[in-house]
């Protein structure tokens, strides 16, 4: 059991690290693409603020660790977590290689649910809790799309008489602030998912009996997320920052402010959301408000397709992996 827990923690930190470099784009793509910050400065800022954000909240961790399945009642809990992490990391690496901004959150949640079904059957999943999580994952990008569109519409009216040069200078500075805000919010939500899955394994392995997140778990997850973020994810930055629409500083500011606020709201509600979904949807919303016809809806469609397939594909992969592990 001790060996299994060590493996779980190691793989969880590897997932957190890949989540960091996979989702770096979500926090800084707009800032880099509009040249508000250099890539190096943007990545380092995102890494530090992701670390600090990850230490701040625990509500999302408790949701991940306790709402998909009950770790105190399910059999083979540590093996389930191990399989879920293998599947989620595999999907993260595949989508990173091809530059697809899919969701690490969807991959982890889909993998955990799939591994539970593969090991304990469909009755092992807490469907009420799982459904509430999926609802949050679906509603958050819709909210970001609508809020981004409305915010950009208001900004267009307010700055209609301002020269483009002056507006760009103002919003490039403001983008630094919103990128910092978004980086911090990313840490408050995304790193907690790994904290939750480690705590799930600790309860399943009888190392603790409650969903209280140990400080050492918070610290190592925050560190892994921060280091992963600081290593950068340039393939996805290119997709998010330039292929959806040609961004200007005002778009970037509106997108970052929208997505960070949606993530903050979800964190306060203890709901895991996909920062990838939220920022991409915010960019689509602000882009549509400024120049609807210039949004690359083909790329947007491929991103949405990746969102749709991530949970079922990662779930099937995890179910396969857990069955291989249980037969070993």
How many CA atoms, within 13 angstroms, populate the side-chain half-sphere of residue 223?
Answer: 8
At 242 the pLDDT is 46
User: Do residues 318 and 114 touch, judged by C-beta distance below 8 A?
Assistant: yes
At 7 the pLDDT is 93
Among candidate residues 197, 247, 298, 240, the one with its CA nearest the CA of residue 22: 240
Full-model pTM? 0.86
DSSP 240: I
How many CA atoms, within 13 angstroms, populate the side-chain half-sphere of residue 192?
Answer: 33
At 300 the pLDDT is 66
User: Do residues 224 and 20 touch, judged by C-beta distance below 8 A?
Assistant: yes
User: CB 5: neighbour CB atoms within 10 A?
Assistant: 18
First vs last Cα of the chain: how many Å apart?
Answer: 15
Q: What is the pLDDT along the chain (328 residues), one digit of tens a residue?
A: 788 999 999 999 988 887 777 666 666 777 777 777 777 788 788 888 989 998 998 999 999 998 999 998 888 899 999 999 999 989 878 877 776 767 778 899 999 999 999 999 999 999 899 999 989 988 998 999 999 999 999 999 998 888 888 888 899 899 899 989 988 998 899 889 999 999 999 999 999 989 999 999 999 999 998 888 777 655 555 554 444 456 788 888 999 999 999 999 999 999 999 887 888 889 889 888 877 766 666 766 776 777 788 899 999 999 999 999 998 7
Could you list the residue range(s) of the whole structural domain that residue 218 is in? 2-327
At 299 the pLDDT is 64
Report the b/e string of 204-228 with b at 16+ CB within 10 A.
bbeeeeebebeeebbebbbbbbbbb
How many CA atoms, within 13 angstroms, populate the side-chain half-sphere of residue 231?
Answer: 14
Question: Distance between CA 162 and CA 324 in Å, rounded?
Answer: 62
String of DSSP letters for 97-113: HTT----HHHHHHHHHH
Among candidate residues 314, 244, 233, the one with its CA nearest the CA of residue 277: 244
> With DSSP H G I counted as helix, E B as strand and the rest as coil, what are the percentages for the chain, rounded to 5?
80, 0, 20
Number of structural domains the chain divides into: 1
Compute φ and ψ for 278, nearest 5 degrees.
-65, -50
């Amino acid at each position: 059991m001790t060996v299994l827990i060590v493996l779980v923690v190691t793989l969880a930190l590897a997932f957190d690290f890949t989540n960091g470099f996979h989702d770096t784009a979500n926090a800084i793509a707009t800032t880099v693409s509009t040249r508000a910050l250099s890539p190096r400065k943007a990545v380092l800022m995102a890494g530090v603020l992701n670390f600090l954000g990850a230490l701040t909240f625990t509500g999302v961790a408790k949701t991940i660790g306790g709402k998909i399945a009950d770790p105190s009642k399910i059999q083979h809990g540590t093996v389930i977590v191990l399989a879920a992490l293998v599947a989620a990391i595999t999907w993260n690496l595949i989508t990173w290689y091809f530059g697809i901004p899919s969701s690490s959150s969807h991959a982890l949640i889909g993998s955990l649910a799939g591994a539970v079904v593969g090991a304990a059957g469909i009755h092992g999943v807490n469907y009420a809790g799982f459904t509430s999580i999926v609802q949050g994952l679906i509603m958050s990008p819709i909210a970001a799309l609508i809020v981004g569109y409305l915010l950009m519409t208001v900004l267009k009216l307010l700055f209609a008489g301002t020269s483009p040069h002056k507006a760009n200078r103002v919003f490039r500075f403001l983008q630094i602030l919103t990128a910092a805000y978004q980086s911090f919010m990313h840490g408050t939500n995304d790193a907690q998912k790994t904290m939750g899955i480690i705590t799930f394994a600790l309860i399943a392995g009888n190392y603790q009996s409650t969903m209280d997140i140990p400080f050492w778990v918070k610290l190592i997850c925050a560190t892994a997320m921060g280091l992963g973020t600081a290593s950068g994810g340039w393939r996805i930055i290119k997709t998010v920052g330039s292929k959806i629409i040609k961004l200007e500083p005002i778009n970037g500011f509106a997108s970052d402010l929208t997505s960070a606020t949606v993530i903050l709201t979800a964190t306060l509600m203890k709901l895991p959301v996909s920062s990838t979904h939220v920022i991409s949807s915010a960019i689509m919303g602000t882009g549509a408000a400024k120049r609807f016809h210039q949004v690359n809806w083909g790329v947007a469609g491929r991103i949405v397709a990746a969102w749709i397939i991530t949970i079922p594909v990662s779930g099937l992969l995890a179910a396969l992996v857990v069955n291989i592990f249980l037969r070993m």
